[in-house]
Amino acid sequence: MSVVQLAPVVVDDMTTDDVAAVQAVEQASFPHPWPGDAFRRELTNNRSARYVVAREAGEVVGYAGLWLMVDEAHITTFAVLPEHRRKRIGERLLVRLFEIAEVMGAEWLTLEVRVSNIPAQRLYEKYGFRRAGVRRRYYSDNNEDALIMWTDRIRERAVRDRLAKLRQALDEP
């Protein structure tokens, strides 16, 4: 029996060269995707924004982004190609967003997630996000509610310890 070696997943900063591939992930993930020029504008004009991509064998298979608003890092978008989900790529993206938020001086991370997106909610809860409220009829495609989720202060020892432990587990076979 042979062992199949998977290509490592690399998470790095999104560039304008990645926009077409990111748009493909966006279209495969959302009923009303952002237009490609929105990502280009974010990368070139929004100094409060940071975006990353996950690559497997050189192919963009996921991406995520955040905006720093005063002292909070708001995760604005997050997606992994459907055929690449359940491979911990989302976790790698999320770990990188925690790192970026800390470097940018954020105190917390926050996001909205569809009430029906249980797998995403479980991922966020694993990383210490807690439900903080509901935005009624937030999603314009179907008027679905969004859960608002927040972390504790990301510089607190418990948050840092949790992140270190989860990051280490990502690197284990």
Residues marked as catalytic: 112, 124
Closest by Cα among 116, 36, 121, 113 to 77: 113
Closest by Cα among 135, 129, 127, 134 to 150: 129
Contacts of 120 (CB under 8 A, 6+ apart): 78, 90, 113, 114
Write the DSSP symbol of residue 81: -
Number of H helices, E strands in the chain: 5, 7
Q: How many of the other CB atoms lie within 10 Å of CB of 43?
A: 20
Closest by Cα among 99, 78, 102, 100 to 90: 78
